[in-house]
Amino acid sequence: MSERTTDQDRLADTGPLKTPRAAALAGIVFSVLLIGALVILRLATPADPGVVGSWLADPARRAAVVTALNFIPFAGIAFLWFIGVVRDRIGRREDRFFATVFLGSGLLFVAMLFVAAALAGGVIAEAGAASPGSSGRGILALGRNVTSILVNIYAIRMAAVFTLTTVTIARRTAIVSRWVTFSGLAVALVLLVGSNISVWVEVLFPAWILALSLDILIADARRPITPRG
């Protein structure tokens, strides 16, 4: 009985040393990739989704859009890793209600992000292959509007719910700093009701995940190392 207890204590001591770093690294990778993708897409495409211009004829812009869309799958993978590691860190302190909303909103966010990226890539490929005067311009306008609605209305709202539940869990378990909690509340509020303020509002979510990840990484670095006997 004593040997089993000792083994469990050692696992409890070694587990948290790796988990925060893994969560922080996954969150940083997600944030950097998604911010990079969003910035490239905003700079390479017209601000108005309904505008169909000559930007598709520019090879540099087309290459930039393709590069940004290729960032999305890896960002989603890193985000799923981030979710799993954070849940593992919370462990037995996890509340079932908030855990369900936390996991569900995170999965829906990734799913809609993937759908939007796939739709955008398919529409751009179709519009680029279409001959002048055909329905390619209409397909591009429709696809851009659908993608914009999917990201700026649905995915952003799921990101707001994910932020709110993460803030609630973090506040109850005291796993992050207070300034991260308060900034998360502000970000969630803006994402919920202020998505029409600017096209750059969508960058707030990965930026907050980046701040959260850095806070976790710094807190883990400052944690005293307990000598093992």
One DSSP character per residue, 146-182 reads HHHHIIIIIIHHHHHHHHHHHHHHHHHHT-S-HHHHH
173 occurs within a structural domain: yes
Residues present in the chain in total:
229
Cβ–Cβ < 8 Å for 196, 132? no
**pLDDT of 135 above 70:** no
225 occurs within a structural domain: no
In whole angstroms, what is the distance from residue 71 CA to residue 18 CA? Answer: 26
227 occurs within a structural domain: no
Number of domains in the chain: 1
Q: Which tokens go with 199?
A: 């096209």
Chain mean pLDDT for the chain: 78
| pTM as predicted | 0.80
Q: What is the pLDDT of residue 228?
A: 46
**pLDDT of 56 above 90:** no
Q: Which tokens go with 219?
A: 């807190």
Q: What percent of the chain has pLDDT over 70?
A: 72
228 occurs within a structural domain: no
CA distances (Å), origin 9, targets 21, 147, 194, 221: 20, 49, 47, 21
pLDDT tens-digit map of 25-54? 999 999 999 999 999 988 887 766 555 556
In whole angstroms, what is the distance from residue 205 CA to residue 186 CA? Answer: 11
pLDDT tens-digit map of 196-211? 777 788 899 999 999 9
The boundaries of the domain holding residue 16 are 2-220
**Would you tell me the crossing angle of helices 156-173 and 178-193 to the nearest 10 degrees?**
160
Output 93 or 139, whichever has higher pLDDT: 139
Q: Which residue has the tokens 């990840």?
A: 213
Confidence of residue 105 (pLDDT cuts 50, 70, 90): very high
204 occurs within a structural domain: yes
Q: What percent of the chain has pLDDT over 90?
A: 32
Q: What is the pLDDT of residue 189?
A: 93
Backbone angles phi, psi at 65, to 5 degrees: -65, -45
Confidence of residue 137 (pLDDT cuts 50, 70, 90): low
74 occurs within a structural domain: yes
In whole angstroms, what is the distance from residue 159 CA to residue 26 CA? Answer: 17
Q: What is the pLDDT of residue 155?
A: 93
